[in-house]
Amino acid sequence: MPDSPAGPPAPPIPLAELLAREELGLRRIAGPAHADLLWVHTSEMADPYPYLLGGELLLTAGVQLSDADTYVARLVEAGASALGFGVAPVHDTVPAALVEACERHGLPLLEVPPETRFTAIARAVWRLMAEARHRELRRVTRAQQALATAAARPDPVPAVLRQLAVQLEGRAALLTAEGTVLHAAGGRPAPDVQTALARLVRVVTPAAPQTPSPSRKPSPSSATDTRGGTHLFAYALGGGQGMALALATPRRDAGDHTVTGIAVVLLSLLTAPHQGADAAGRSTALVRLLLGAAPQDVAPLLGDGDSWTVVHARRADGAPADPLNAGALGAALGSALSDVDRATVRVLLPGPHEAVTPQPGWALGVSEPSPVTALRDADTQAARALGHAEATRTALTRHHSGIEGLAALIPPDRAEAHARALLAPLTEPLAETLRCWLSLHGSWDRTAVALKVHRNTVRQRVARCAALLDMDLDDMDVRTELWFALRGRRR
């Protein structure tokens, strides 16, 4: 068979669509009903095999037809999709031997009536291809827009997988090289399909890095298989992160490969480790900290700037966070330094907090800029700000602890000493509850949301504070003094 060409710039045309064109008057008289047409070719050669590319609808009037069986066998060997036989001027009817040969070799045979010209058939095929190409481009464009929108969501990786499953009407999953499913969308496949997908993933993402060797070929970037009519695919994600996209679809339509390619690129970007010129510096800083270096000594290795901002974030819909969407949030904020603890994502940003902007689907709490030696205090500020943001249902809250106005008239050391003496009876949980309650204007419900406790717990703690301090917390003068003390104290 001749070498397979790259293929035409259009999807294949089902034979049934061509037969449905009533103006052509075509009739299938032998062979299977299903075939895909890629080309139209006319030939009166006794053996057109050398000139066929595969996938053709070959049109002939049988000028040199002598041995029907050999003729059809050669067409099938060349990969022709169907044979159109023109009745007249050479033959009054389709030769019976040709009908038998096409039936025997499984080649669709079409009867072309005398009034239908071969050029009309070719024109109809190309028109159908143009329409199919237009439909494919529209579908790919819609899918690209949908996937791009999904990639901009707070949970970009699961969102892209869900949208891909919808577009392909199948299952899409992100797997590690060991076969662990990180995220998945779409129906759950049968056990044998899951096993086959895991095997394909191992093909494209070997668990252990391959040792460079002239005799060892690199792993393929994709692999395919079928199980009981289900099409299986695995695509390695770029960047060498040891993950793959696995797909199980009931069919393979035109444009699926392009849609999948878009998803692979997006997932590769969303899951790739954030590397940059300062990656080595950050690694060095971490090693030195672990070996006992002082934070101020490793600060220059962490990046430019003398101050850092801590951001705490939680999903606005209450959904859990994971390292993938934590990394995506960090990238959106402009930092590769992110971590996730339960439902809270923490991001460390170089520079001032004014650069932090609200992120769709997230509630953010932002600390004040702090030196690297005071990041623990900044972490507390960000946690408080996040609680305030959730309690007030705002997308972003910035912590402001600067002492201004009347409070600035008191020397800091005297203010701190007074705060310590005034708040001495309170434990840290009680003092934090009182501070949060005062910051939210005495709202029980908002304080409960900010502290992640029941409102009755807030009531009990505030009542305990009033008893220990022996103060009337309904008195505005008392509240004001306590607020200044709580703002001025050092934990």
| CA atoms of 381 and 490, how far apart (whole Å) | 12
Contact 78, 60 (CB under 8 A): no
Look at 375 and 3; give whichever has higher pLDDT.
Answer: 375
- Whether the ω angle into residue 369 lies within 30 degrees of 0, i.e. cis, is no
369 forms beta bridges with none
Q: How many CB atoms lie within 10 A of CB 180?
A: 11
Q: What is the CA radius of gyration of the chain?
A: 35
Give one word for 324, left, alpha or beta, with left for phi > 0 and alpha for psi -120 to 50: alpha
- As beta bridge partners, residue 348 has 310
Convert the pLDDT of each residue in 360-370 to its tens digit. Answer: 888 999 988 88
**Residues 87, 60: contact at Cβ < 8 Å?**
no
Q: What kind of architecture, by CATH, is found in domain 405-488?
A: Orthogonal Bundle (1.10)
Q: What is the mean pLDDT of the chain?
A: 83
Residue 355's nearest CA partner among 344, 363, 366 is 366
Could you tell me which residue, 6 or 420, shows the higher pLDDT? 420
Residue 445 is encoded by which pair of tokens? 């419900």
* 13-128 CATH fold: 3.40.1390
CA dist 240 to 159, 211, 219, 412, Å? 22, 14, 11, 53
Among 80-84, 310-314, 319-323, 425-429, which is the least confidently predicted range?
Answer: 319-323
**Quick one: 153-208+219-271 is in which CATH superfamily?**
Dynein light chain 2a, cytoplasmic (3.30.450.30)
- Among left, alpha and beta (phi > 0; psi -120 to 50; other), residue 199 is alpha
Return the number of other C-beta atoms located less than 10 Å from residue 107's C-beta.
22
The pLDDT of residue 275 = 46
H helices of 152-255, in order, are 156-168, 191-204
pLDDT score at 451:
85
Whole-number Å distance between alpha carbons of 22 and 31? 20
- Cis peptide leading into residue 212 (ω within 30°): no
CB 281 within 8 A of CB 358: no
Query: pLDDT tens-digit profile of 211-261?
Result: 444 455 566 778 888 888 889 998 888 755 678 899 999 888 878 888 988
pLDDT at residue 163, as a whole number: 93
pLDDT value of residue 7? 46
d(CA 196, CA 54): 30
**3 has a pLDDT exceeding 80:** no
- Nearest-angstrom CA–CA distance, 394 and 28: 67
Instruction: Please check the confidence at residue 115 and state whether its pLDDT lies above 90.
Output: yes
Given this model, what pLDDT does residue 195 score?
Answer: 87
User: Residue 288: pLDDT above 80?
Assistant: no
- Pick the more confident residue, 205 or 411: 205
Average pLDDT over residues 88-107: 93
Enter the pTM of the model: 0.57
Find tokens 């080649």 and name the residue. 107
- In the structure encoding, which two tokens stand for residue 268, read together? 């590769």
How buried is residue 463: exposed, middle or buried, by Cβ count under 10 Å (0-12/13-18/19+)? exposed
Tell me the HSE value of 3 on the side-chain side, using a 13 A CA sphere. 2
CA distance 37 to 449: 63
Sign of CA dihedral 146, 151, 153, 159: positive
With a cut of 90, say whether residue 108 has pLDDT above it. Answer: yes
Every domain of the chain and the residues it spans:
13-128, 153-208+219-271, 305-398, 405-488
